[in-house]
Structure 1
């Protein structure tokens, strides 16, 4: 459907009632017609809140939101009763278009009765134009195309909604949105539950949509292919790259996700350069402000000089000293008032373990022969050498997480052989939150699980001081995952197991984690469906990466 409407967010701020923490601060950006803007940020940064404001489920404290007349939102669940068939959902989505077709039929009957009516002829032309513009004549074909594109072609439309899986309900909701005639689209994590083909289909759909599209997503591949610009809600780089106090939330970057990464890296480099120049100037001013008279005037006067001359030079030196001291101290005070904070540390591993013993002996880190966990994995045969980086991929249910659990020892084998050297240390970053005591502050949890010699969560660039001091129960899933990640970075193992490591992480932090892994000499086994990682695996691992593909049937290296 053609659209000239824009979606505009103008100076919007929001605080949930009964709390003092502002979630959104002076948000301002616009999404033009025919453009796709990605909304990115870690869980807890305000993405869902902003979508709630746009959908009018929430009201901003201040500011304005301009929406096109018909704005479509993808719902987490359908509004239909679970006892309804899936066909009701599709019928409801295309009801408006069916009415256009029905209207043409009604006017045709009236024209047969009043063939000379100019008003009926005008109404008929208008109805035909609306039908052609909205694709009424191809509607049945369009429905079949959308359902097939989202992997729903084999699901009978007579299926009761309660009998659909959560992923199927989510895809039917997305299908209904794509079929509905709307002026704008607002999507929340639309690629969840989509396979690669489904994501490719959605990308083409959004590229062809003529209205504005705002999409909140953690899917880097999807954003790189579909977005014309990105709005980053994470304050990690501060206002204008760390200069000054950030009063406006959200930075808009033009271009794809790859362009965003380049721009963000440029901001960081400028920040690092400005900070280095500031600290150099601080040292110079502190030295100048600490000078005394002996540094400015030499008391070893020539014996031929008179006392009057000595007094003249001493007075002039004192005046010079006073001016220099005042100037240096004033400039030092100004620097400290407008001090640029240190840029956040880049993610890296600390206390890298030695791997020479296993390597020199030629002993593998993991030997698996015909591993079988009934209905979950195998039979699987693979040998993992020290220092190898393995990517484990496959569809949901193929056994990726099960394989990592078998290596960790938390799931027993039904058949097969698994050999891991006893001295090998193993850590796992699980995809689910495993913390049980949520009343303990994040910084205390981190300190209890790490050596005292390593940097804390703030120094590692994983959290600010206020967040680190809050109990785990008050943190988002992404923030809790930062604590788990920090513990692993502080005490890296010989064998690192990563289960969907980028889940719940901000996109910038996910990039930093992957970069840190390239410098990690230990053994890595990573299970992921992340297409961005899979596409770049050979480059990210400097050519030492290997791939293990699981199908849910027999799998091997």
Structure 2
């Protein structure tokens, strides 16, 4: 069933058209991504759909009674409530029911009511009805639901009494999203919901949204997030909208194939046009062939000419090049401690960087990743240890806080002042490759957007020709197109990379290894982000196997020889047992993921079935035979899906039980 339709919508800015004839359908339980480069109009369209603005042309229609939750980009809560009060306000109806329950409980203990059998029975009946409603609306579980969502966003119980006004901007945005999730709207519209989230929170949010019962419409630059959450993509580019089915990776492949097909048709038509025009030019003045030439001319005039496929000429195109090569050992950090004001965030930190490696640094927010980079560069002293650079190493640094820019200069001046011997024409050409053209180069730096500042920083970095690039969140503020260009440039770079990033897709594309930073120090993983996640899962399984083995051996030793447990080495034994059954563990892990996914699917289908059954029980629906029939068809289809999923779950669960 369609929740919302965008029909032939247009938006103008003065005489310019931002987009035109935009069409979009959002079905129940849809998982939709809206993508497009910065400035294409994505946020503008979301505001229209959310009802904050209206189209210049066209219309947006929606199902009667549709509830919409909208989170604008970096939109935080503005409230004087505590965190708990703000989240609890979502359940105001439950609070009222609970208050009514307590009133009735007091009445039931009132002697005047207790001695009046009729009044007592009527009060008891009312109480039972209210209590049933309270239970059906999760009255006994809503507080656990609040705690679960707050914990997912890293708000633990010790901050529940903290005022919302005391939170940072990023925390207020996270809290606004948490509140929206608890409200369970029919359609959730999220504009860059992954901003300010670390990897752990992102992973939790992905899992939560996968089982969200309503529909989702999401704008995000996080391609890994889109791959895991959406199954439809609307591409807003060149003032038009194109719809694709599948996740982000599938969209990229289908769009490339579509553009390739357009070029093929265009080039074929151009060849035909050239051939016809050549014939006309050669034969129009000849008496013997003029009629044939006139016929060709008419054919040309009637031809429905294809537009030249847009080749994304405005995509940035740049590269990084090392002016000279470094030695094989680029950087060594041994047994260091990072932090500030004497407070250690992570220890011991070890890092060995060799020539041509690309190392990603990951870890939760606040663990000291950026501090680690700044300590390596000497901007913040190590609390313990030091960084030793190898022979011939020349470092270039990308600061996520963008402090390397002078707000008083123009874009052109920012580069030319650092390279005064370079001709202005060459400076302008380089800026053009980073999408600073025409009057853009005369803009003051303070007037640039976050994305423009990021591109200017990358321009400066590219001109330095360093052989060791240290990058702190380089994809922040960049649109997807610019991120992909940056990935290509870094993969082609003939130097060495060390970077901090929360962009998991970017890490997968660029990194040759991953270093995790934690309070216990650093740990190296020799692969991309997906490899890192798999190894973390394996480590968890090893720990679980060791703990299980330890418990078994302790129990066994206690039953035979009370002193034997003291000499056991359960961790070593657990490790050996794990290694001996490594293949079995992989199969088990795969089955566990399959079973978990099927369980999530069953939960979603159960929720959908319950929702339909609730609708069918509504008086206005039960009196409408046509609507009842439609709902019954939907319910039948879901029932078939439930049976199929349950059958598959049973088979997979039995296979998993055999491995256990």
TM-score (norm 1): 0.72
Which residue of structure 2 lines up, in the alignment, with residue 95 of structure 1? 92
**Corresponding residue to 1:391 among 360, 367, 392:** 360
Which residue of structure 2 lines up, in the alignment, with residue 551 of structure 1? 518
For residue 319 of structure 1, report the CA deviation from its aligned partner.
5.1
| Partner Cα separation in structure 1 for residue 364 and residue 90 of structure 2 | 30
Which residue of structure 2 lines up, in the alignment, with residue 270 of structure 1? 261
Unaligned runs of 5+ in 2: 525-660
For residue 340 of structure 1, report the CA deviation from its aligned partner.
4.5
State the Cα deviation string for residues 230-262 of structure 1 (Å, max 9, x = none): 2333x2xx4xxxxxxx4xx33332221222222
| Partner Cα separation in structure 1 for residue 21 and residue 246 of structure 2 | 23
Q: Point out the more displaced range, 63-72 or 386-395.
A: 63-72
For residue 477 of structure 1, report the CA deviation from its aligned partner.
1.9
1:349–1:91 distance in 2 versus 1, CA, 3 Å? closer
Counterpart secondary structure, 1:262? helix
Which residue of structure 1 lines up, in the alignment, with residue 473 of structure 2? 500
For residue 101 of structure 1, report the CA deviation from its aligned partner.
4.4
Q: Is 2:393 the partner of 1:418?
A: no
Which residue of structure 2 lines up, in the alignment, with residue 309 of structure 1? none
1:285–1:139 distance in 2 versus 1, CA, 3 Å? same
For residue 94 of structure 1, report the CA deviation from its aligned partner.
0.9
| Partner Cα separation in structure 2 for residue 447 and residue 329 of structure 1 | 59
**Corresponding residue to 2:483 among 492, 500, 510:** 510
Which residue of structure 1 lines up, in the alignment, with residue 172 of structure 2? 169
| Partner Cα separation in structure 1 for residue 388 and residue 252 of structure 2 | 41
Report if the CA contact (8 A) 1:291-1:325 is conserved: no
Which residue of structure 1 lines up, in the alignment, with residue 249 of structure 2? 258
Report if the CA contact (8 A) 1:457-1:468 is conserved: no
Which residue of structure 1 lines up, in the alignment, with residue 558 of structure 2? none
Which residue of structure 1 lines up, in the alignment, with residue 77 of structure 2? 78
Unaligned runs of 5+ in 1: 239-245, 294-314
Which residue of structure 1 lines up, in the alignment, with residue 502 of structure 2? 529
1:353–1:74 distance in 2 versus 1, CA, 3 Å? closer
| Partner Cα separation in structure 1 for residue 521 and residue 68 of structure 2 | 47
**Corresponding residue to 1:402 among 357, 367, 371:** 371
1:73–1:259 distance in 2 versus 1, CA, 3 Å? same
Count of residue pairs the alignment pairs up: 504
- RMSD (Å), alpha carbons: 4.7
State the Cα deviation string for residues 217-242 of structure 1 (Å, max 9, x = none): 22222221111212333x2xx4xxxx
Which residue of structure 2 lines up, in the alignment, with residue 302 of structure 1? none
| Partner Cα separation in structure 2 for residue 218 and residue 156 of structure 1 | 30
For residue 284 of structure 1, report the CA deviation from its aligned partner.
6.3
Counterpart secondary structure, 2:157? coil
For residue 35 of structure 1, report the CA deviation from its aligned partner.
1.5
1:385–1:278 distance in 2 versus 1, CA, 3 Å? farther
Q: Point out the more displaced range, 121-130 or 161-170.
A: 121-130
Report if the CA contact (8 A) 1:350-1:491 is conserved: no
Q: Is 2:28 the partner of 1:61?
A: no
For residue 527 of structure 1, report the CA deviation from its aligned partner.
1.2
State the Cα deviation string for residues 57-97 of structure 1 (Å, max 9, x = none): 4343333334554322347222322xx32222022111123
1:385–1:280 distance in 2 versus 1, CA, 3 Å? farther
For residue 371 of structure 1, report the CA deviation from its aligned partner.
5.2
For residue 524 of structure 1, report the CA deviation from its aligned partner.
1.5
1:291–1:22 distance in 2 versus 1, CA, 3 Å? closer
Counterpart secondary structure, 1:250? strand
Mapping 1:101-120, distance limit 5 Å: 101-102=98-99
State the Cα deviation string for residues 86-130 of structure 1 (Å, max 9, x = none): 2220221111233344556778979998969xx999998986775
For residue 468 of structure 1, report the CA deviation from its aligned partner.
5.1
For residue 364 of structure 1, report the CA deviation from its aligned partner.
1.9
Counterpart secondary structure, 1:45? coil
1:501–1:282 distance in 2 versus 1, CA, 3 Å? farther
Q: Is 2:451 the partner of 1:478?
A: yes
Report if the CA contact (8 A) 1:381-1:555 is conserved: yes
| Partner Cα separation in structure 1 for residue 52 and residue 442 of structure 2 | 28
1:283–1:378 distance in 2 versus 1, CA, 3 Å? farther
1:103–1:216 distance in 2 versus 1, CA, 3 Å? farther
TM-score (norm 2): 0.62
**Corresponding residue to 2:217 among 210, 214, 217:** 214
For residue 528 of structure 1, report the CA deviation from its aligned partner.
0.6
Q: Name whichever structure is richer in helix by fraction.
A: 2
| Partner Cα separation in structure 1 for residue 259 and residue 152 of structure 2 | 40
Mapping 1:283-294, distance limit 5 Å: none
Which residue of structure 2 lines up, in the alignment, with residue 52 of structure 1? 47
1:226–1:131 distance in 2 versus 1, CA, 3 Å? farther
Report if the CA contact (8 A) 2:316-2:435 is conserved: no
1:345–1:374 distance in 2 versus 1, CA, 3 Å? same
| Partner Cα separation in structure 2 for residue 221 and residue 137 of structure 1 | 36
For residue 511 of structure 1, report the CA deviation from its aligned partner.
3.0
1:14–1:276 distance in 2 versus 1, CA, 3 Å? closer
